[in-house]
Structure 1
Amino acid sequence: MITIDEIDRHILRELQHNSRITNQELADRVGLSPSPCLRRVRRLEESGVVSSYTAIVDQTALGLPITAFVRITLEQHRPEVVDAVEEHIRSIPQIVEAHLLAGDQDYLLKVVTESFATYEQLVRSQLRRIPSLASVQTTFAFAVTKPTTPLPIA
């Protein structure tokens, strides 16, 4: 694990807001010359603190206006069952996030799809085939009130 100082935190805040920023502009914003700034960025990348760069795409613009949060409960929790469940979840492209939970449900899935009908088809053809599935509970989101945001780096 690497030590992250205030300059690293500043770099991380800037990269979360605009990962396409040039090294020169990033260096100017964090008060470094370009070479030390680039070294710090590379160290953050190599250590895994910065794991990847991505574009945030508007799902509605792509014809995927429906967001469902799906809570699933399993009948069994043997390691081989959990491995099979997680492999199955990862194989479904409409599941864009999956979280293992503590509590009454076992997983929280974020699903995006083009319509309620396609969501129903996904449940029938994919979700019901999850190994050891005991229950599926779905909540549909009407709107996004706080979109994906950067981590709160102090």
Structure 2
Amino acid sequence: MTKLDRTDARLLLALCDAPRATGVQLATMLKLARNTVQARLARWDQDKVLAPIDRCVSPRDLGYPLKAFISVVVDQHRLEDVIAELEKVTQVTQVTGLSGAADLLVAVVATDADDLYRVAGLILAVPGVQRTTMSVAMHEVIAYRTRPLIEKLARGE
């Protein structure tokens, strides 16, 4: 069950098109009461519906053009410690828990191949990491997106 309804979806789509719009502007665009818009925006803040702005900044623009994914096999007794250590590695941009052959999928960025080698070594050196396998991202074919899901909700599907 979703926490968002069709009105939320319409508001999110408007924000996708005009991310700097004010509450009054959004209310006018969507023909909603200003209080309705403000209440929903406040609820989203409280519920952390929207991701932080840093998710919108490309690592490439920060000087990290190389992206890789590292599959990590972890000693299960040390999983929490491993995650805590990975969080300290600046160039780790995301860690996802997996089922299957690997336990974690770690997304990293680097300035060049030498930097990537260094970052991979930092991860392999974390106590509790048993094995890693790295894949370098050659080209992002479909970027992270939720707009199609928002559009589907807006249509009431």
Sort the TM-score into its range (normalised by shorter chain).
Answer: 0.7 to 0.9
Residues of 1 paired with 2:31 and 2:53: CA distance? 23
Change in CA separation of 1:82 and 1:18 when aligned onto 2, cut-off 3 Å: farther
Letter in 2 for 1:101: L
Bigger helix fraction: 2
- The CA RMSD measured in Å over matched residues stands at 2.2
Shift of 1:49: 2.6
Give TM-score, length-normalised by structure 2: 0.83
Counterpart residue number, 2:20: 20
**Aligned residues of 1:11 and 1:41 also touching (Cα < 8 A):** no
Residue 86 in structure 1 maps to residue 83 in structure 2: yes
Residue 111 in structure 1 maps to residue 118 in structure 2: no
Residues of 2 paired with 1:23 and 1:59: CA distance? 30
SS of aligned partner of 1:139: strand
SS of aligned partner of 1:130: coil
Shift of 1:69: 0.7
**Aligned residues of 2:67 and 2:136 also touching (Cα < 8 A):** yes
Mean CA deviation greater in 16-25 or 29-38: 16-25
Counterpart residue number, 1:49: 49
SS of aligned partner of 2:60: coil
Structure 1 gaps of 5+ residues are none
**Aligned residues of 1:69 and 1:109 also touching (Cα < 8 A):** yes
Letter in 1 for 2:132: V
Q: Which runs of 4+ in 1 moved over 6 A?
A: none
Give TM-score, length-normalised by structure 1: 0.84
Letter in 2 for 1:84: D
**Aligned residues of 2:124 and 2:130 also touching (Cα < 8 A):** no
Residues of 2 paired with 1:142 and 1:149: CA distance? 19
Q: How does 1:1-150 map to 2 (within 5 A)?
A: 4-50=4-50, 52-54=52-54, 56-74=56-74, 76-78=75-77, 81-124=78-121, 126-150=122-146
Change in CA separation of 1:130 and 1:18 when aligned onto 2, cut-off 3 Å: farther
Change in CA separation of 1:48 and 1:55 when aligned onto 2, cut-off 3 Å: closer
SS of aligned partner of 1:7: helix
Structure 2 gaps of 5+ residues are none
Taking every aligned residue pair, what percent have the same amino acid on both sides? 20
